Structure formats: structure tokens, C-alpha cells
Structure 1
């Protein structure tokens, strides 16, 4: 009996030490979030909770993501360029999609490191039952399986459930088929982000009482069409539904941050907040550009938006807080990528050795940089739009090989000469250096082509997985 008591005490002490050493991790992901959609970065609509959060940690003004929803979510979960995983674009309903089960996702890694894992909200990296989050490492999942626009399907006059899947909100636990919770339609979308928030808070309160560290990923559906807003914020801004939604997003994030504090786990919780791509821009029709219908969103000083390779599509708000570890009030314009979150979170969890070595991992460990190192461990970011290499950012330069101007613009053909911009001094990417300055910047080709060459070599050695492919691994 005495030995059993000693063993139980040792196990309890071990769990307590593990919880102390491994921080809880909360990742808050806002959909279609423009760089300038928060007041600390220029919005006239006040976002006090987000602004306060930014002052409590590190604010990244050069945080780069993919240019659409699915690719970024794939990058966050694998640390790999989405073209490698077959998730380089948002799939249309009926197209092959999702992550191969072979991928070693972030929640799988953290589960193996002793974490409990949960996802609340938007998934959008595989719509079929067997590719939902509860089959990709999450212990628990509650939310939507596909794009948020699915909420509007059943409201179209021509809707026919005989030829298209009816959208639902789902709930699932690890390793078991998820079940339909309720119809995902416009009325459900109105209250969905609040429900995501409330369920996240309840989960945090529950997990805070355990001795096991937890990873909670929150995929908000704002600011994605169809534009809806909770009744509490309807016309609150007096500036249209998009501005109302800015206020709601700030409120919901504030509730989650307050819940972390009230649960007494703030000091041991790493919180990351970012967007998945820039705000959409729709120049081809005044109806689409109207704030009440489909426009809105502020990409700050940057050119372009959602689905483009310009900075407005790639840069989103981003900030990270870890009290006592990450300096409060620090702001950095160093280059950081969404693909870096996989390796960096693994490092914070003390699980660097679990990062797989049998495949290319494109992310780099930014823990030292987040903790105070002056320079980022990344000096470039490679931009694919679908299957095509559109641009490469290196230091202050950006080289475009192809371009599309806005969310629904035609894709331009390849330029006769790549276009080069100094994005530090020319955020609108308007003054092209090669043609305007007598090709004096041609030297920039050297470092950028080296990055492209290295990537091509890696892809030749480790072929890209095709969309929907049930890949089994490299030989």
C-alpha cells in the first residue's frame, strides 16, 4: 500500500512538473483579416481588446501567410508549403481536398508531447468525414468543415440539396466519425462566432483545472462572406456591417483573453493571434464593393488583398503573448511566416525532437526571435498562387513573376522581365525598379534565384503530394 501511495505521489508530481514546463497554447485565427483592421494599425474603428493584447507581447508587422484560407490552415498544421501537401488553393465543393493521413499535424505532434488538443470553429482543410480535425490529431472538434461561404448556400433561390451537400456544423472526438450538430445557414452564421467563443471559454475553464497542458485552436468565421454580425453589434459602429464585425471580433477575442486570466493560467499560456490572409477586394463592380454587400476590409498601406501575391494579401495582423517570457510592447518588422508556427510551437512545447525528419519542413524555429533575439530566422517568403510561383520576398525586396491585381481579377501572364519592388519604401509596390532604374537591381536575382533553386531541388527529391492523394510516404 505504501509503495502504491509513493507511486501515485510520484505520478502526480510528474504531471505537475510537465504542466509547469509545457505552456498551454491557444491559437486564435481570424478569417480574411486585413492588416489595417485593428486600431493599433490604423483602423478608425476601435479594437481596444486586441490593441491591449498587442501591447502585452510581440506585435509582428511583417507576418506572412498564404493568400487563401485553406493553404494557410494547411501551412499552420504541417509547417510545410501548401503546394507540398496538395492544399495550395481553396478547393471547390466536389474537388479532392484535405491533408493526407500521413501528414504529421501540429495537434498530433502536441498530443505525442503530452497535450490535450481541441479545435473550435472553421477547419477548411478537408471536408469529408475521414479528413475532419478529429482524424488529424485533435481530441475534440466542434465547428465547420468547409468554407464559411457555405452558410449562404441554402438561401439561394436555386438551392437543390439533391445535387449538393447541405452544410452543417459538426462535432467529433478523436478517431470516431463526427456527427452533424445543426444546419449551417445564415441564421447559424449570425451567432456562430459567439458560440465558438463560448465553447472555447468553457473548454479553457475545464482544462485549466487539469494537470495536463492543452492546445486550443480557434478558427473564427469573421470576416468571411456572407457578412453577418451578432445582434449585440448590429449597427453599433454606425459605419456598416463590416465595422460592426470589427467590434464583434474584438469583443470575442477579449472574452477569451479574459477567460484565460480568470482561470489563473495567464502566466503559463502562450497565446498567438493572426489572420489567414488579407481582406478581399472586389474592383470589378460597385455592388460587390459596397460595404453592406461584399466589400470592406482594410489592408493598410499594402497593395492587393485576398488571392493576390501583393503584400495586402500576405500580411495580416499577428501578435504573440507569453508573460514573463516574451517582452511586452515589442514591435518587429522582421519577416515571419505562417509555416514557422509549426516548428516554433513545437519548440515552446519542448517537443523539437518530434518535428519529422523524413520530409521537408519549410518552417523555421522562431522561438529565440520571439524571446528577444533581434533578427528573425527567416529572410524570405515564397509565394504560390495555386500551382504557380508568383513572387518571392527577400529582405526588403519583392520579385513578381506573375500577378493578379485583386480577389477576382484575371491572372496576368508572366512578365517579360520579373518586376522588382522595394516594399520597405514602396508598400504599394508601384515603382518597379528594374525598368525604372536601368536594371541596376538585377543583382537581386542572385539571392532570390538561389532560394527558388533550393526549393526546386527539394521538390525534385520529395515530390509534391497531389490534392486528395492518400500519400503513404517517401521511399
Structure 2
């Protein structure tokens, strides 16, 4: 029986109305939720989607639920994490790009995160790993709904700062791990450096395993957010996996990632919590490319985007699609593979609905995520979404509408120049996943009609942002009038 189904609601209502205890309600607990987020993960970095390096645990997990071939994230680490936590386009929250060290950053405390929503609904909450949507005290996970957290408050790359010969701690902060609990300021712990990152994901997993063991059979459900740092640079691999692939460290990291995810899933099984737990596994953006890289990311410094063009921060599909899957035994049908459009923005309202807490979603601000619970539960065959607006920084780079992708700006690689086009570029990403045959020009303006729905999408978004002005990065925002 699904949590808060119509039958259960009727039983509970009758019990409240007539003062009769309801055994069914007393024995029912909302599902636990685990979100596993892999850093800089290419669509083709799992073997079920083409990787030549095996990822058997992830493949098996995908087969136990729904695998999304068209799971869309935001353009960088910070925007995606913001979207997961708020269900709002990151540009609305001032989190549309990764802030450089010293720049204002982070979610305004006014934002109502998924962790706050679930905490208010009676969930225990914890975050282990990478946060990256608030580096300052007051904007840490324990300030935004998490009972406890341990990890880093900034980007994974900070581990390499102290290894540069020019680093001067008098002018730049030395990176550390952080720890905190709700109701108290977070505090720095040990140094976050190259050796620290080498064992970081194992320690993240250790803490996640321990948390599940101690909370799975409690009276309250839990929400556990696991922010891995693999495959983000600096590219290091745990000593247990160094050389295991025989193909270099990037391939070794695939073994490490698969193993760590397996440990978490095996722990759920060991404590008999698999059936009672929603597990979501996605990436935060596609793999990066070196400054001289063009087109696809390749080799040990990138990752595989599968058939898709582009990479991190390009706006092409290779940067915007990652592996995405969800498992909830008995509720989400096993073995489903779909090309329906899903956005990371949809996680927020969908989770709230799945656990019967949609009434807690704020109504005083725009929520860009769409409830996909009926689609995920198999109650309908199509997604409730047919478009994605892709921001890179402050600019709308592209709009995906159904199978057509319209680009206003393009960048071929993560570090390449940005091109603004006289006429929008249009591709059919179903027929042409590598976005090579441009339709607007090559077919003599025949596809110009697609600007009708795209213009409507952008016009409505502009009206919304006029009514609810975007929060600026680091702004101490306290609400709309």
C-alpha cells in the first residue's frame, strides 16, 4: 500500500472522527529517502549505457526500478544542488553558477529546502559529502534542514589548492572538512587536501552506512543525502582501486564509485530496509573537458557522454544529461527504461508528493519543478514535462522542447569561448543526438515554427521573474512582499 493512499486516508479520517485507534495507520511509516549524487558523471559512464568499464552494481540497481535516459540537470555543481534542494531554477536563487573563491555564494536562508520540508514532516535528515550551495556559516546544511552533516562546504577542486606552489594561506582560505548539527554553528575539522580527497568518498560511504544502520529501524523515517566527489578533479582514486581497471585512474574511479554505491545498497538490504526506502541516483552535470578539448570529453580527464555532444557548462546534451534512476520496490515498477523528459527540478515536488507532504511545498514563490509522481508510479505513460530551459550562468543557452533543441548560445567545451548565433540553431536530438545537423539553416528556415512554443516558454518565464525578481548571489533575502 502506498503511503497516504486514498484507502489509508479514509481509515485515518474515520479513526479521528470517531475516536477509534487505527492499527493500519499506527503500523505505517513514511518511506526513507536516500539521494546519491555522483559528481561530474557522464551519461555513458555506466556499462548499461555504453561504458566499457563494468559497473555491475549500478546496472543491477537500475534494473530494479526506473532508468531515465532523458534525465536533465543544471549546467554546473552549484546550480544542480540548488535545484535539488529548492525545486527552483537556480538563477532565481542566485546560485546559477559556481562562485569563485571570495565571491558571495549560497542559498539564502529564506529558501525552503527539501531537507527542511522533510524535517518539518517528521524526517530525520543527514548530509555526508559535498554541499557546495553555501560556504559561509549560516548557509551550511545544518542551517537549511539537516540535523547533521559532515563533508565540504565548497567545490571538490579545493583539495588541490594547497598543492599549488604559489598557494599563500595569508591571502586565500585553507580548505578544510566541516561538521555541524542543527541549532549550532558548523566548524572546521581536518585539512581538505589531495590525501583527504583520495579517501573522501570512502569516508562518505562509511558515514552513510553507519547512519542507515542506526536509523533504518527507528520510529521516524530518514532522508539521507550523499554527495560523492568522484569524478570531480583533482583526479585521485582510493588506494584499494588504484590500478584495478588496468586502464588508468578514470576507469579505476568507476570501480570505486560502483563499489561505494553497492555498500550503501547492501546495508539497506542487511537491515531489511530496501522495500521501505526510495533511492535516487543521479549525476550533477556531465564530465568536463580540458581547455584544448573540442566536442566530446575523452580519455582519463573527461568521461563518456555517450552519443551526446558537449560536456560540462556547454548547454549541449552531453553536459545536461547524466545517468538517472529511482528504485522503490513495490511502488516503482522494475525494469522500466524511459526517454521521457525529467528535470532535476522535479525531484523536490515529486518527493514531497510521494511521501504525502505536497501541502508543505511553498506557494509564496515560483516552484519550477513539476510533480512526476504519477509517471514514476506507473499511473501514466508520459512525463508531465515537455521542455527544459538551459541556463549557463545568467544566459539562456538553449531550450529543449520535445525532441527539438534550440540553441541561442553555444560553447564546444567546458573552457572554450561562447558563441552567440545570428539565428538560433535547431537540432532534433532524437534523430541526431550528437547535434551535428542544424535544421534552421540546412532546411531553409523550415523549422522556424518551433520558436512559437519556445518563445511562449521564455515569455512566461520572463513574466514570472518580473513578478518575483531573482535573488542575487549572496543576498540576505527575506521574502517577497
Does the pair score TM above 0.5? yes
1:139-158 equivalence runs, <5 A: 139-158=147-166
Q: Corresponding residue for 2:360?
A: 354
Q: Distance in 2 between matches of 1:163 and 1:290?
A: 36
1:129-168 equivalence runs, <5 A: 129-168=137-176
Q: After superposition, what is the alpha-carbon deviation per residue over 1:8-46, rounded to whole angstroms, capped at 9, x for unaligned? A: xxxxx9999477341100000000000000000000000
1:55-134 equivalence runs, <5 A: 55-134=63-142
Q: Secondary structure at the match of 2:158?
A: helix
Q: Corresponding residue for 2:386?
A: 379
Q: Secondary structure at the match of 1:20?
A: coil
Q: Distance in 2 between matches of 1:423 and 1:103?
A: 34
Q: Secondary structure at the match of 1:472?
A: coil
Q: After superposition, what is the alpha-carbon deviation per residue over 1:227-278, rounded to whole angstroms, capped at 9, x for unaligned? A: 0111110010000000000110000000000001111111110000000000
Q: Corresponding residue for 2:405?
A: 398
Q: Corresponding residue for 1:368?
A: 374
Q: Distance in 2 between matches of 1:206 and 1:405?
A: 47
Alignment counterpart, residue 34 of structure 2, candidates 21, 26, 29: 26
1:438-449 equivalence runs, <5 A: 438-449=444-455
Q: Distance in 1 between matches of 2:24 and 2:217?
A: 12
Q: Secondary structure at the match of 1:129?
A: coil
Q: Distance in 1 between matches of 2:97 and 2:291?
A: 21
Q: Distance in 1 between matches of 2:22 and 2:140?
A: 33
Q: Distance in 1 between matches of 2:298 and 2:156?
A: 20
User: Is the Cα contact below 8 Å between 2:119 and 2:125 reproduced in 1?
Assistant: yes
Shift of 1:187: 0.5
1:277-288 equivalence runs, <5 A: 277-282=285-290, 284=292
Alignment counterpart, residue 51 of structure 1, candidates 53, 59, 67: 59
Alignment counterpart, residue 237 of structure 1, candidates 242, 245, 250: 245
Q: Distance in 2 between matches of 1:34 and 1:121?
A: 20
Alignment counterpart, residue 314 of structure 1, candidates 311, 320, 327: 320
User: Is the Cα contact below 8 Å between 2:121 and 2:357 reproduced in 1?
Assistant: yes
Q: Distance in 1 between matches of 2:270 and 2:90?
A: 37
Q: Secondary structure at the match of 1:401?
A: strand
Shift of 1:184: 0.3
Task: List runs of 5+ in structure 1 lacking aligned partners.
Answer: 1-12
TM-score (norm 2): 0.93
Q: After superposition, what is the alpha-carbon deviation per residue over 1:283-323, rounded to whole angstroms, capped at 9, x for unaligned? A: 5169xx8845xx13001000000011000000000000000
User: Is the Cα contact below 8 Å between 2:29 and 2:220 reproduced in 1?
Assistant: no
Alignment counterpart, residue 44 of structure 2, candidates 17, 21, 36: 36
User: Is the Cα contact below 8 Å between 2:47 and 2:54 reproduced in 1?
Assistant: yes
Q: Distance in 2 between matches of 1:114 and 1:305?
A: 39
User: Is the Cα contact below 8 Å between 1:113 and 1:349 reproduced in 2?
Assistant: no
2:469 is the alignment partner of 1:472: no
Q: Distance in 2 between matches of 1:19 and 1:143?
A: 35
Task: List runs of 5+ in structure 2 lacking aligned partners.
Answer: 1-20
Q: Distance in 1 between matches of 2:349 and 2:250?
A: 34
Q: Distance in 2 between matches of 1:176 and 1:365?
A: 34
Q: Corresponding residue for 2:345?
A: 339
Q: Secondary structure at the match of 1:278?
A: coil
Q: Distance in 1 between matches of 2:198 and 2:298?
A: 20
Where do 4+ consecutive residues of structure 1 move more than 3 Å?
A: 13-19, 289-292
Shift of 1:411: 1.2
Q: Secondary structure at the match of 2:58?
A: helix
Are residues 15 and 297 of structure 1, via their aligned partners in 2, closer, same or farther at CA, if it must alter by over 3 Å?
A: farther
TM-score (norm 1): 0.94
Q: Distance in 2 between matches of 1:329 and 1:243?
A: 26
User: Is the Cα contact below 8 Å between 2:42 and 2:305 reproduced in 1?
Assistant: yes
Q: Distance in 1 between matches of 2:35 and 2:304?
A: 23
Q: Secondary structure at the match of 1:273?
A: strand
Q: Corresponding residue for 1:251?
A: 259
Q: Secondary structure at the match of 2:423?
A: coil
Measured on the aligned residues, the alpha-carbon RMSD in Å equals 1.5
Q: Secondary structure at the match of 2:172?
A: coil
Shift of 1:443: 1.1
Q: Distance in 2 between matches of 1:246 and 1:119?
A: 22
Q: Corresponding residue for 1:176?
A: 184
Q: Secondary structure at the match of 1:250?
A: helix
Are residues 14 and 406 of structure 1, via their aligned partners in 2, closer, same or farther at CA, if it must alter by over 3 Å?
A: farther
Q: After superposition, what is the alpha-carbon deviation per residue over 1:307-358, rounded to whole angstroms, capped at 9, x for unaligned? A: 1100000000000000000110100000000000000111112100000000
Q: Distance in 2 between matches of 1:189 and 1:222?
A: 9
User: Is the Cα contact below 8 Å between 1:69 and 1:277 reproduced in 2?
Assistant: yes
User: Is the Cα contact below 8 Å between 1:19 and 1:211 reproduced in 2?
Assistant: no
2:236 is the alignment partner of 1:228: yes
Q: After superposition, what is the alpha-carbon deviation per residue over 1:425-466, rounded to whole angstroms, capped at 9, x for unaligned? A: 001111110111111111111111111111001001000000
Q: Distance in 2 between matches of 1:19 and 1:175?
A: 31
Q: Distance in 1 between matches of 2:237 and 2:133?
A: 25
Are residues 285 and 21 of structure 1, via their aligned partners in 2, closer, same or farther at CA, if it must alter by over 3 Å?
A: closer
